[in-house]
Amino acid sequence: MTPVVLVHGIWDNGKIFDKLGAALTKVGKSVDAIDLVPPDGSRSIASMAEDVAAAVTRAQQASGHERVDLIGFSMGVLVSRYFIQRGGGKRIVRRFVSLSGPHEGTVFGALGWTPGARQMRRGSELLRDLAADSEPYGDVEVFAARTPFDLMILPSTSSMIPAAKENRTFNVPLHKLMVSDARVTRWIVERLS
């Protein structure tokens, strides 16, 4: 089965994916929930995308599969997207699941002082650069999910991707619960099966 790499958001680590990782493992997926270090956004999105590239290579080698599935949450969505668009991921990623990611930025980014947080600002140079691609995902199947109650990704519609195969809204009460909500987990497992 296609291996899965999970990329967390700012101020988190791979443990945030424990429930989702267990559900994916239960259906036979090998899962690597990486830790972006440090997790505070003090590195640029491009720098953190190098960690994703290394994790993808490890997953390929361990599984013997050429393609991987990639799941990003919050800032990890932009890190994953950067890998896909600028790090050669279009040729490697089979399916990309974006959970509450600031594709069009977030008001919260205006409060950040670290490089990664500043790149999440609405209208940032990074976001303009990524949005300028005419074929941002190539043949990668893209799925995006948001919660309308998100207080980290403002507006929450920033989590939608026009080019996605499916954009889905879940009435999850908090941003962080998107990675552990049973409905979201079922949806992800179905999309990656």
Handedness of CA 136, 139, 140, 142 (dihedral sign): positive
CA distance linking residue 109 with residue 117, whole number of Å: 5
- What letter would DSSP give residue 100? S
Render pLDDT for 5-19 as a digit per residue (tens, 0 to 9): 999 999 999 999 999
CATH class for the region spanning 4-192: alpha beta
Q: Minimal CA–CA distance to 111: which of 17, 46, 60, 41?
A: 41
3-state secondary structure of 118: helix
Render pLDDT for 10-65 as a digit per residue (tens, 0 to 9): 999 999 999 999 999 999 999 999 999 999 999 999 999 999 999 999 999 999 99
Output the pTM of the full model. Answer: 0.97
Q: How confident is the model at residue 113 (pLDDT cuts 50, 70, 90)?
A: confident
The answer on pLDDT for 92 being more than 90 is yes
3-state secondary structure of 165: coil
Domain ranges (residues) in the chain: 4-192
Measured from the Cβ of residue 80, the count of other Cβ atoms closer than 10 Å reads 29
The answer on pLDDT for 110 being more than 70 is no
- Average predicted confidence (pLDDT) for the chain: 96
